[in-house]
Structure 1
Amino acid sequence: MYHALYRKYRPKTFGDVFGQDAITAALKNQIEKGRVGHAYIFTGTRGTGKTTCAKIFAKAVNCLSPRGGEPCGECDICRGLEEGSILDVVEIDAASNTGIDDIRALRDEAVYTPANCKYKVYIIDEVHMLSNSAFNALLKIMEEPPSHVIFILATTEIQKVPATVLSRCQRYDFGRIRQETIQKRLEMVAEKEGITLSPDAAALIAQLADGALRDGLSILDTCASAEKTVDEALVRRMAGVTDKSYLFSFSQAITAGDATRAIGLVASLRESSIDMKRLCEELIAHYRTIMLLGAGAGELGLSLSAADRERYRAEAGQVPLAAAVTAMRGLGDCLDRMGRGTDPRIELELALFTLCGVPAASPVTEKSVPAPAAPPQSAREEPSAVPPAPPPRPAPGEGAQAAAAQPCAFWPQVIALSEQSDPMVHGFLVGSSAYLQGRRVLIDGSALFLKFMKTNKDSSERLKGLIAQVTGERYSIGPYQKQTAAEEPAPSRAEETFQQLQDAGVPVEYR
């Protein structure tokens, strides 16, 4: 029967484990000196060797003739554990055995001494999948374990494991395996299997593996099943990886401000069944690479072939650092909106339009629109749907605020809408007027109303919401500074009511 490469070449000793030298050295030292703990937890991303090291450790502690902390692989115990005929090492998949009954059965069984080995070893994979009650049951036996029991917990999500469990384990963090290390291992396996593996293909597979050696071996296995000569083109075809040159086409179009070209690329890729969310993620990663190389930090978490690195260096010379940061933020906001259920293609097109229409060095937000030219002083036009940008705020007392403000045409609609949604606010708004000053609505109301809005943040936010419902835009609000006493508006109905209560001796507090 054919064995997959990742199974066939699974390490049998700590010396065969790639990329985890510090961890394997510590485990061998414990076994050699006889200082074996009763509980361990191995954490890290997939394919980094957690379960493999747990199995090697279980063999080494039970080996009849260990060699420098390594299992000999020849004694009856090593052969029996390798063949599965000895049942003192138990592997449990916590993803399918999550309940308390499963852990209770483990606890009842653990009290019995091993049949053949010195230690009974329980390897619990994906331990974070256990329920809270199961964790509590496991904790009980981990607090006072029998001397012949060793627990090895493995997880990819350490944050989900209770602190009470972590505090009783020796913790080992398995890091992602470096691309160079994966490439070296792939070349060794290819040589043993008689596979012709080109250096570019090995580098691409190592890059696609993303720090997981098992994934790299699986990709190599897939490619070798098609042809014995594995080159970069075959890897791209079998792994479903397309040439990433379209990412450079996007960044070049954005730098040139060519929105038509950028939208055309989206349409072309969508016809090729490229997922829009995935494309957005790729563009963010693309600009991250440009940013890191442009900032001189190209070795921080980048897995690139020599050819791709040179291409990105050239691109970083064309894209300003600020533009790369702006693009990442704009695309990140776009990805967030995609997650809320809106059409991913439309959101991506809007983000690209924004990035192409705004200068590269300026920040991009959802409402980045060019400010219209200021109207002449003599003009008395009604405010448009998009009000002009606010002028610099004048110093208090200069009267510049009142001079720059224009009557707010939509204020009667806000008052009418408040009658249905917020009668209290409506009582204050009756008889009031408002003025527009850029992105602010200045309310000409009584002192009582202004004090109420200042102290009652909820009502202030509701009033902003009413304005947004009428205009479709978000405005800030503030008081209208009157120049003369003659402009003082008539008291509102709410003010009259409160004044009558005060005159009658009823204490009134404004919140």
Structure 2
Amino acid sequence: MGAYEALYRKWRPQSFEDIVAQPHITRTVRNQIMRGKTAHAYLFTGSRGTGKTTCARIFAKAVNCLNPKNGDPCLECEICRDAEAGTLTDIIEIDGASNNGVDEVRNLRENASFLPVRCKYKVFIIDEVHMMSAGAFNALLKMIEEPPEYVKFVFATTEIHKVPATILSRCQRFDFRRILPADIAGRIRYIAEHEQFTVSEAAAHRIAVLSDGGMRDALSLLDQCAAISDAVELETVEEAVGVAGTESVFLILRAATEKNASAALERIDLLYQQSKDMTRFADEISQQLRNLMLLKTAPDDASLLDIMPEELEQLKAIAALYSLPGIISALSAVRQCCDRMTRAGNRRMELEMTIIRLCADQQQQSGDIKALTNRIAALEQQLAAIQANGVPVQQAAPPKRRQPAPAKNVPTQNLQVDAKTDEKQFVAVKNWAAVLERFFDINPAVAGLLNNSSAYIYAEKNILLVCVRNMLFRRLFKQTDAVMLLDAAEQILGTRYQLRYKVLEQEADQTAPAEILMQRAQSDGIRTGIQEDAGV
């Protein structure tokens, strides 16, 4: 009796036709082989267990096969048989993780310089190429860019972002897709038909979901389940993997809506006594919360849910107990719990705290929603009673649009007083110097316009009259400056006044030179700040 061969090795695809869920890649590569237009370097990328290395091996056999069939190897010639047995020296498979140095690449280049012994092409398959060092990548560049016509490279990686751009630009890149659960379940049932055990549909679906899109993981788990029982059922899978199962997850979700933390904790204790993995159980809860979220968002599209058809009705019943914000809040809390579990010493305690919090949050949300509903109902009853008594209900008037405030940074000609004033009504401000000093602290750029000025107060009309002796005052003094001056006066005098000013014409000679300069500048076509303020 020979040594036992694992299922994922025994059922490894031998042709492009057998590769599952990658038609966009197999079709392209087969066409290239049939037309004799294969590239010198390929880069296969994708998650684990999607067929990257398998496709590379099939490609190496196909390009060297003596009797290829539609781009596939015949699997009958001596080249195909020796390649399958691993005795063909012209197909070299290298592990990039353990051969990641410059010396290994130098040996590879020396090997590539020799002609193939039996095959048409010498094919180098480098798996996990992202593990190679920077020096090794640099040593490969020239060989990949201009290899001998009899040499082909096939690189495989799960972390494409670690491969340098200089390597990517020299290869044809193919992205392997994650295999869908339905395709994995179909492959599992196909293998079970040819092996000495049976697999139920529910068990095949659960294995497919747990494998997370990787066929190798699925077949390894199937191999483990087949060792437990020749009839693989859902319970067999849960026992082999250590998962709690949907029944326990649904119980936790119902307990959260029923505010029954005791029932939830009792189930966690039972699973803990059965040595179930608490981290995996938390992940199961998050997966079902995801299903609830999708069911609430897209209730008519069941294809988005990773559940069996018989579980759909139970999930719909649980979804009716939750609101969408409640589901999202619970999902966020459970995912945070999963993150903490990776660092926590007591994972059970982390899960128990999260479940208790979920029960409390659902209780609070239910109470808040119920109270709000009752208040709305009471208000509707009161409104109906008012209307029944003949009292019209007025609709609230739409809010008035506020008009934009006028610009403040404009000249203050509207504050100027031209007429003669009655000196008996105005009282001189004795501490005007203090006001000017305060104004200088606030606005020193404009305070110079008030040099040699005086101020008077008309108490009956609450007016502060400022008499200035600078002819440029009326052009340079702005509304914002007036507000600052009133602020300074209020701080010193203790009263908020209305500002008015008067330019004393008899002192015009003091500012005549500046006025003359302004006029000359305007006559010569030179723009001034006064013209800009006036909108010239």
Under a length normalisation based on structure 2, what TM-score does the superposition of the two structures give? 0.63
Gap change, CA 1:349 and 1:199, over 3 Å in 2? closer
Question: Following TM superposition, by how much is the alpha carbon of 1:296 offset from its aligned partner in structure 2, in angstroms?
Answer: 1.2
Alignment of 1:356-435 (within 5 A): 356-359=359-362
Looking at structure 1, the residues matched to 218 and 84 of structure 2 have their Cα atoms a distance apart, in angstroms, of 24
Question: Following TM superposition, by how much is the alpha carbon of 1:341 offset from its aligned partner in structure 2, in angstroms?
Answer: 4.6
Question: Following TM superposition, by how much is the alpha carbon of 1:359 offset from its aligned partner in structure 2, in angstroms?
Answer: 4.5
Alignment of 1:186-335 (within 5 A): 186-296=188-298, 302-335=305-338
Question: Following TM superposition, by how much is the alpha carbon of 1:190 offset from its aligned partner in structure 2, in angstroms?
Answer: 1.9
Deviation by residue 1:2-46 (Cα, 9 ceiling, x = unmatched): 322222221111111121111100100111111111111111122
Where 1:358 maps in the other structure, the secondary structure is helix
Query: Residue 105 in 1 paired to residue 107 in 2?
Result: yes
Looking at structure 2, the residues matched to 4 and 346 of structure 1 have their Cα atoms a distance apart, in angstroms, of 38
| The 10-residue stretch of structure 1 (35-44 or 61-70) with the greater mean CA deviation from structure 2 | 61-70
Partner of 2:356: 353
Deviation by residue 1:118-149 (Cα, 9 ceiling, x = unmatched): 11111111111212222222223212222211
Gap change, CA 1:111 and 1:205, over 3 Å in 2? same
Gap change, CA 1:26 and 1:97, over 3 Å in 2? same
Contact 2:16 2:26 in 1 (8 A): yes
Gap change, CA 1:36 and 1:299, over 3 Å in 2? farther
RMSD: 2.5
Question: Following TM superposition, by how much is the alpha carbon of 1:279 offset from its aligned partner in structure 2, in angstroms?
Answer: 3.2
Where 1:151 maps in the other structure, the secondary structure is strand
Gap change, CA 1:199 and 1:331, over 3 Å in 2? closer
Looking at structure 2, the residues matched to 139 and 220 of structure 1 have their Cα atoms a distance apart, in angstroms, of 42
Partner of 1:5: 7
Partner of 2:184: 182
Structure 2 unaligned runs (5+)? 367-490, 492-536
AA aligned to 2:119 is C
- Percent sequence identity is 47
AA aligned to 2:47 is T
Gap change, CA 1:13 and 1:307, over 3 Å in 2? same
Looking at structure 1, the residues matched to 134 and 365 of structure 2 have their Cα atoms a distance apart, in angstroms, of 49
Under a length normalisation based on structure 1, what TM-score does the superposition of the two structures give? 0.66
Partner of 1:455: none
AA aligned to 1:31 is I
Where 2:8 maps in the other structure, the secondary structure is helix
Gap change, CA 1:276 and 1:218, over 3 Å in 2? closer
Looking at structure 2, the residues matched to 198 and 43 of structure 1 have their Cα atoms a distance apart, in angstroms, of 33
Partner of 1:136: 138
Within the candidate set 26, 29, 49, 1:27 is matched to: 29
Where 1:91 maps in the other structure, the secondary structure is strand
Gap change, CA 1:135 and 1:301, over 3 Å in 2? farther
Looking at structure 1, the residues matched to 232 and 351 of structure 2 have their Cα atoms a distance apart, in angstroms, of 36
Partner of 2:512: none
Contact 2:242 2:276 in 1 (8 A): no
Deviation by residue 1:445-490 (Cα, 9 ceiling, x = unmatched): xxxxxxxxxxxxxxxxxxxxxxxxxxxxxxxxxxxxxxxx9xxxxx
Within the candidate set 164, 167, 171, 1:162 is matched to: 164
Contact 1:322 1:360 in 2 (8 A): no
Q: Pick the structure with greater CA Rg.
A: 2
AA aligned to 1:333 is Q
Looking at structure 2, the residues matched to 82 and 56 of structure 1 have their Cα atoms a distance apart, in angstroms, of 9
Within the candidate set 124, 127, 130, 2:129 is matched to: 127
Question: Following TM superposition, by how much is the alpha carbon of 1:301 offset from its aligned partner in structure 2, in angstroms?
Answer: 5.5
Partner of 1:49: 51
Looking at structure 1, the residues matched to 189 and 276 of structure 2 have their Cα atoms a distance apart, in angstroms, of 32
Partner of 2:63: 61
Gap change, CA 1:302 and 1:139, over 3 Å in 2? farther
Gap change, CA 1:176 and 1:269, over 3 Å in 2? same
Deviation by residue 1:86-122 (Cα, 9 ceiling, x = unmatched): 2111111112222222222112211211111111111
Looking at structure 2, the residues matched to 65 and 168 of structure 1 have their Cα atoms a distance apart, in angstroms, of 30
Partner of 2:88: 86
Contact 1:326 1:361 in 2 (8 A): no
AA aligned to 1:29 is N
Gap change, CA 1:303 and 1:331, over 3 Å in 2? closer
Partner of 1:459: none
AA aligned to 2:75 is G
Where 2:100 maps in the other structure, the secondary structure is coil
AA aligned to 2:147 is P
Contact 2:244 2:281 in 1 (8 A): no
Where 1:37 maps in the other structure, the secondary structure is coil
AA aligned to 1:112 is F
Looking at structure 1, the residues matched to 346 and 192 of structure 2 have their Cα atoms a distance apart, in angstroms, of 45
Where 1:225 maps in the other structure, the secondary structure is helix
Contact 2:122 2:150 in 1 (8 A): yes
AA aligned to 1:20 is Q
Structure 1 unaligned runs (5+)? 364-484, 486-511
